[in-house]
Amino acid sequence: MVRGTFQWLMIVVGAFIYSIGLNAFLVANHLAEGGFVGISLLLLYKLHLPIGLTFFVLNIPLLLVAWRLFGHAFVGKTALGVASVSGFSELTQDVRIQTHDPLLAALYAGVVTGIGLGLIFRTGGTTGGSDIIARILRHYRGMAMGQILFGIDLVVIALVTIIIGRETAMYSLVALFVSSRVVDFVIEGASRARAITIVSDKNEEIANQIHQQLERGTTLLQARGGYTGTSREVIYCVVAREEVVRVQRIIQQIDPVAFVTIHTVHEVLGEGFSFHDETSSRKHKLF
């Protein structure tokens, strides 16, 4: 019950942060957005219609269709996101941070709106609009959501180019790009883990030193060279970001010609990487 309540609260908090970024940087500097918010901004600039009211009205028919197709679980969080963005965008309409540098405004707009959207998406909520259309088209046509969302944003930015101007559209694209990156960051987090694959003739020595010096476990994978056809074992291990240098030193000391690849890991679950009692369970064993 507490977790459910927290998720609903985070949607409201995310909508508030998003609305601050919307009014303080986009509206204040006459920039645009993608999706239904972008349409609402165009109507604000040209017809002086309130953003919140326009955004809410545009979403009503989509919410009704989504209710019939996807049920109350999806529509409940989405309706809260739509209502919260609509309400907060009106309550924060006097928050304005104007700058003579549109690029700076676009960057800050992307960061702030991205944080807000990331919090909403992380709880399973959405702000409606394009997301509902994408889900409906995927349901009926089997189309990829990413392509639909990109297409809608492209159409809106094209309208911005025609109605407001090319320069505004270009700065708005910057804000959209930054926002999407920040959303990914908020949802996935700043990864602390790195996966390391080591191909060496001295696997046992390297693995033993990783066990002893880092107290990290390793996995020995059976592999076969595609060119030589030679069978050998490959070391696979996951370590914290700050431990990568120590692993590199171990490899350099034991086998300087070893072949090593290092990858960013977005999420790791298990001993040594849990969110709780991490320091008391450092000995992470894959097998």
pLDDT digits (tens, 9 = 90+) for 193-210: 889 999 998 999 999 999
- Amino acid 152: pLDDT: 84
HEC readout, 102-151: HHHHHHHHHHHHHHHHHHHHHCCCCCCCHHHHHHHHHHHHCCCHHHHHHH
Is 205 in the same domain as 171?
no
- Amino acid 221: pLDDT: 92
Is 71 in the same domain as 169?
yes
Is residue 286 in some structural domain?
no
Residue 156 near residue 35 (C-beta atoms within 8 A):
yes
Is residue 287 in some structural domain?
no
Element (H, E) at 40: helix 35-47
What residues does 265 pair with on adjacent strands? 193
216 φ/ψ angles, rounded to the nearest 5 degrees? -110, 145
Is 184 in the same domain as 201?
no
Please state, in angstroms and rounded to a whole number, the distance separating the CA atoms of residues 94 and 213: 57
Whether residue 150 has pLDDT greater than 80: no
Is residue 234 in some structural domain?
yes
pLDDT-based confidence at 281, cuts 50/70/90? very low
Looking at the structure of the chain, the number of domains it has is: 2
Is 169 in the same domain as 236?
no
Segment 21-48 mean pLDDT: 92
pLDDT-based confidence at 128, cuts 50/70/90? confident
* Residue ending a domain, choose from 188, 208, 243: 188
Q: How many CA atoms lie within 13 A of 69 on its CB side?
A: 15
Element (H, E) at 210: helix 203-214
Collapse the DSSP code of 187 into the 3-class scheme (helix H, G, I; strand E, B; otherwise coil) and give the result.
Answer: helix
Please state, in angstroms and rounded to a whole number, the distance separating the CA atoms of residues 218 and 89: 51
Range of the domain at 64: 2-188
What residues does 1 pair with on adjacent strands? none
For the full predicted model, state whether its pTM sits above 0.85.
no
C-beta neighbour count of 15 within 10 angstroms: 26
Edge-to-edge strands of the sheet including 219-224? Answer: 219-224, 231-240, 193-199, 259-265
pLDDT digits (tens, 9 = 90+) for 214-235: 888 899 999 988 878 888 889 9
* Residue ending a domain, choose from 188, 218, 253: 188
Residue type, 85: V
pLDDT-based confidence at 271, cuts 50/70/90? low
